[in-house]
Amino acid sequence: MMSEVQQLVSAGQYAEAADKLMAAAAGGDPNAIFTLAKWRVGGTIVRRDLQAARDLLAKAAEAGHRQAALLHAHFVANGTGGPADWGGAHRLLSELGGTEPRATEQLDMLRRMAVEEDGEPARIPRLEALSQRPALFLARGFLEIEECNYLVRQAEPSLKPSVVTDRATGRAMLHPVRRSDGMLFGVDNEDLVVNAINRRIAAASGTNAAQAEPLQVLSYGPGGEFKPHVDSVKESGNQRILTALIYLTEDYEGGETKFLRTGLSFRGRTGDLLLFRNVMADGRPDLMTEHAGLPVTKGRKMIASRWIWRQAPQHAPPEPRVPNL
């Protein structure tokens, strides 16, 4: 049945594919239920509905679909499609621990992390002021080396060349100022370990985890760079107020983070957090934050970054191909 659904999608017969998938899901097919949940998250074929996706994942999990059970635990931990319940998510993950390698890996990692029972950090590394303007702070050893290795290991299979969307054509094009590979830990792959790290970033920055964009991992090989830019946005209203950078590797040459208007140059050790404020006290963008990731000359530089907004960022869902479903 699922092959028929895929054939219909490939042929552009989206309504027929959706009808067939929904009928199979209503009949209790675990694979169909899981696929429909993924469609509800993506929102490109049927309308996005994260609450429905979470409910479908729970239903598929009850029917024995282990991948659905894993993703359902992630949703429960980070509050996708419903309230966040770290303790409940941890119990769901523990139930999978003996049968699902990804669950086992997370549980092993969580046992070594400084995390409270509610998922909040048990400790917050001290911030050291590096500069008053731009307001720039450093937390040494913010992540343990094994936590950095975990992010690298989870990110590597999904790394792709950094792109932007051409507003005129809607097509993806290579990023004009960033030469790197990257990936995002979005709602479909923000597991409990990544969620705990996001909570730690929020605690260190005095914000709420929901205020930030997904954690992203960027990889810069020889010649890779991020040309001079600021992280604040020109649009009025909501604003990126803070940037958090975590250095995941250090066995490379070049690649310093340089603030062009002050000359300050920084090269983090593995696990270091660099946090800077993108706006001034009155909320206007601070152009003194103009910075660049200088070209890497040898090895591979990997960082995790998280942009934190004044208010939780809102993104319009995609227009589904079958808008009535």
| pTM (predicted TM-score) | 0.93
Task: Please list the residues that pair with 211 across neighbouring strands.
Answer: none
Chunked in runs of 10, what are the mean pLDDT values of the chain (325 residues)?
A: 85 92 94 97 96 98 96 97 96 91 96 95 93 95 97 96 64 68 93 98 96 96 93 85 97 96 95 96 93 95 97 90 92
- Provide the pLDDT for residue 162: 80
Domain 128-309: CATH class, spelled out: mainly beta
CA separation for the pair 180, 175 (Å, rounded): 9
- Provide the pLDDT for residue 36: 96
With tokens 């899901």, the residue in question is 25
Residue spans of the domains in the chain: they are: 2-112, 128-309
Q: What is the dihedral of CA 86, 88, 89, 95, to 10 degrees?
A: 150
- Provide the pLDDT for residue 99: 87
Q: Nearest 5°: phi and psi at 164?
A: -130, 165
**What residues contact residue 281 under an 8 Å CB cut-off, 6+ apart?**
none
**What residues contact residue 236 under an 8 Å CB cut-off, 6+ apart?**
none
Same fold, 2-112 and 128-309: no
CA separation for the pair 63, 317 (Å, rounded): 29
- Provide the pLDDT for residue 172: 59
Q: How many CB atoms lie within 10 A of CB 66?
A: 17
Count, residues in the chain? 325
CA separation for the pair 77, 84 (Å, rounded): 5
Concatenating the DSSP letter of every residue in 46-104 gives S---HHHHHHHHHHHHHTT-HHHHHHHHHHHHHTTTS---HHHHHHHHHHHTTT-HHHH
- Provide the pLDDT for residue 125: 86
The verdict on domain 2-112 having CATH code 3.40.190.10 is no
For residue 151, which amino acid is it?
L
